[in-house]
Structure 1
Amino acid sequence: MEIKLQPATNYERKIFYKEEWDVNDVPDFVIDSLTSREFGFDHYGQGPNDRYKTFPDALRLKRFMKVKQPFAAYCSVAFYDKPKQRKGWKQSELVFDVDAKDVPIRTCDCNEGEVCDKCLSQAKDIVLMIKDVLEGDLGLKNINMIYSGRGYHVRVLDESVMTSSSDLRGQIVQYVIGAKEPDLSNSMGFTNLQHFIIPYGYSKNFTKWSKYTILHLTEKSKLDNVNTKLLKDTLKFRHFLEDDQWGMFRGNIGPIRFNKLISAVARINMSITDTKVSIDLKRILRLPSTLHSKVSMKSTLIKNIETFDPFDDAVPQFVYERKD
């Protein structure tokens, strides 16, 4: 059966919350901090305007969801002493938001604002790369992967980042997604990000992301300060990058044009994830287990990102019962 990413009707939403949604599907990392979080709801498909909600326990949350059957449900990444007033901030998750419709170099034929299995697969590839850097370079362990409905949220709850400032989070994001060209004049050989002493693999990490972006460019791609001739030559010689022959690629492009290309790629990499979400200490995110009503998909905690397929693992039952 072909899964169509179309809006859920009011009836389908009611059926989902009445017969399928289970409070036990809300991840433990949310339930364990339930009383410290702010919740928000969208009841009419116009955005989360029902804010500052709190729940003393999972039973109260269950009752609310069963009665209200919201268009969308959200919870804060922040923990507060007084979540109902959003006062007494204690700490916040570090979040990477990868939305398939906003991937800067998409290889599918989707119209703006649309998603398909191809760009969702591309978003998953990006999330896997982010996860590798978080674990391998930064040594983070409490990493939760969420399918959001049209993309993925990476939610990190290690203590070393939970209390970090917006400025530090911005630096971490730049490092993780290869969005800043490495300063090769740094003779110290490492970057110091407060809690993290990162071995000077910055250049290697930046190169990995640049390779990913360049290999996904098409003739229709638009890059700042990159003219048609440079783009064509990039596509012509990028096969060298498949074997990591950067010297050959740079030699055919030319050093001046190569530097211009790499600067443009760094700006593209910056838009791989929504940086505003990562640095916002008071952001609310879609509540895992709930319905993304615009596409009729479940926001789902992913147990195994390698094998996860949203078209198998995040489809509500009512979608299979639709009559064309």
Structure 2
Amino acid sequence: MSVELKPASKYERKIFYKEEWNVKDVPDFIRNSLTSREFGFDHYGNGPNDRYKVFVDDLRLKRFIKVKQPFAAYCSVAFYDKPNQRKGWQKSELVFDVDAKDIPIRTCDCAEGEVCEKCLNQAKEIVLMIRDVLSGDFGLTNINLIYSGRGYHVRVLDEDVMDASSELRGDIIQYVTGSKLPDLSNEYGFNDLQPFIIPFGYPKNFTRWSKYTILHLRRSSKLDDVNNQLLRDVLKHRNLLQEDLWGMFRSNIGPIRYKKVMNAVSRINMQITDTKVSIDLKRILRLPSTLHSKVSMKSTLIKNIETFDPFDDAVPKFVYERND
């Protein structure tokens, strides 16, 4: 059957938390640090206004959620000495938030704010690319992938990045998403990233993301400083990038116009993830295992991203029992 991404009723939330939700489905990387994290809840669909919650063990978290059956549940990416006051910051996960409804160049025909199977698959492709850069270029290993309900969260808990400042996180985001024109005089492209061993260098990663973006452009795409004629020329010659013939692509576009295109592409790449989420050291994110009530999907820790299908692995039982 097809899954309709519509809001869950109060009764459906009750059924989900009574019969399906299990505190043991909360990922270990959160359960093992409960007393250092802030929890927040949205009980009525108006946003997380019940915040500064702390749970000393699984049992108390379980009791709270089973009783409250929240519209949405969140926990902080930050670790605190006093999470109930958000004081004594220790460190924070490095997070990449890829929401299918916010992908800048979507290949589907969804209306604004909506998601479908096609754009969710596109979000998954992006997450795979982010994961590969984090592990391949930065050598990070504690990378957790979460289906959020309308997209994906990449949550990194390597100690090398947990104490990074907002400024350094901003540089990491630009590197990972290919959203800065490369400085070819610098092997890395980013002076601030020298503490990390980056074997391939930034230009290769920028090329990879730029190719992805250009190959996904549509006639209706809007790019800064790129007029309709230039966009048509890009679409006409972009098949050259399938063979990585960048020199021929540049020649056919023209060097000045090519630079305009690459500047515009780098700005699009920056919109692939929600930058505000990544640099916010005190952000709260949807708690994996809980319900995204706006679309009736489960936020889910992904064990195998290659085989993960949200329409098989993240649909609550009550969705299949609806009688419309």
Determine helix, strand or coil for the equivalent of 1:303: coil
Residue 323 of structure 1, CA deviation: 1.0
Q: 1:121 to 1:188 in 2, by over 3 A?
A: closer
Residue number in structure 2 paired with 1:83? 83
Match of 2:92 in 1: 92
Distance change >3 Å, CA 188–CA 230, structure 1 → 2: closer
Q: Aligned-pair distance for 1:185? A: 2.7
Structure 1 unaligned spans of 5+: none
Matching residue of 1:29 = 29
Residue 159 (1) aligns with residue 159 (2): yes
1:110 counterpart residue number: 110
SS in structure 2 at match of 1:109: coil
Kindly indicate whether the alpha-carbon contact (under 8 Å) linking 1:189 and 1:199 is maintained by their aligned counterparts in 2. no
Change (3 A) 1:188 1:65: closer
Query: What is the CA–CA distance in structure 2 between the aligned matches of 1:215 and 1:188, rounded to whole Å?
Result: 25
Aligned residues: 324
Q: Distance in 2 between matches of 1:194 and 1:233?
A: 38
Specify the alignment match of 1:121 in structure 2.
121
Conserved? CA contact 2:107–2:216, under 8 Å? yes
Structure 2, unmatched stretches of 5+, are: none
Whether the 8 Å CA contact 2:39–2:74 is kept in 1: the answer is yes
The 10-residue stretch of structure 1 (264-273 or 196-205) with the greater mean CA deviation from structure 2:
196-205
Structure 2 match to 1:16: 16
Measure, in 2, the Cα distance between the counterparts of 1:189 and 1:216.
Answer: 25
The Cα shift of 1:228 comes to 0.2
Which position in structure 2 is the counterpart of 1:294? 294
Shift of residue 186 of structure 1?
2.7
Please report how far the alpha carbon of residue 193 of structure 1 lies from its aligned counterpart in structure 2 after TM superposition: 1.3
For residues 20 and 188 of structure 1, the distance between their equivalents in structure 2, rounded to whole angstroms, comes to: 48
Report the Cα distance in structure 2 between the residues aligned to 1:282 and 1:158, rounded to whole angstroms: 17
The one-letter code matched in structure 1 to 2:97 is D
Moved more, 88-97 or 189-198: 189-198
- What is the CA deviation profile of residues 136-155 of structure 1, one whole-angstrom value per residue up to 9, with x for unaligned ones? 00000000000000000000
Q: CA RMSD in A?
A: 1.1
Q: One-letter code of the match for 1:257?
A: R
* Amino acid in the other structure paired with 2:259: N
Report the alpha carbon displacement of residue 305 of structure 1 after superposing the two structures with TM.
Answer: 0.3
- Whether contact under 8 Å (1:78, 1:89) holds in the other structure is yes
**1:46: how far off?**
0.3
Structure 2: how far apart are the matches of 1:30 and 1:56? Answer: 12
CA drift of 1:184 comes to 1.5
Kindly provide the CA deviation profile for residues 200-242 of structure 1, in whole angstroms up to 9, marking residues without a partner as x.
5211100000000000000000000000000000000000000
Check whether the contact 1:160–1:195 (CA below 8 A) recurs between aligned residues: no
Tell me which residue corresponds to 1:68: 68
The answer for the alignment partner of 2:250 in structure 1 is 250
Deviation at 1:197, TM superposition (A): 3.3
Partner of 2:277: 277
Look up the SS of the partner of 1:198 in the other structure: coil
2:178 aligned partner:
178
Please give the alpha-carbon distance, in whole angstroms, between the structure 1 residues aligned to 2:124 and 2:57: 33
User: Residues 189 and 78 from structure 1, CA distance in 2 versus in 1: closer, same or farther, beyond 3 angstroms?
Assistant: closer
Amino acid of the structure 2 residue aligned with 1:47: G
Measured after TM superposition, the shift of residue 318 of structure 1 is 0.1
Q: Please give the alpha-carbon distance, in whole angstroms, between the structure 2 residues aligned to 1:160 and 1:186.
A: 22
Is the partner of 1:79 in helix, strand or coil?
strand
How far apart, CA to CA, are the structure 2 residues paired with 1:201 and 1:245?
20
The offset of 1:312, in angstroms, is: 0.2
Alignment of 1:42-53 (within 5 A): 42-53=42-53
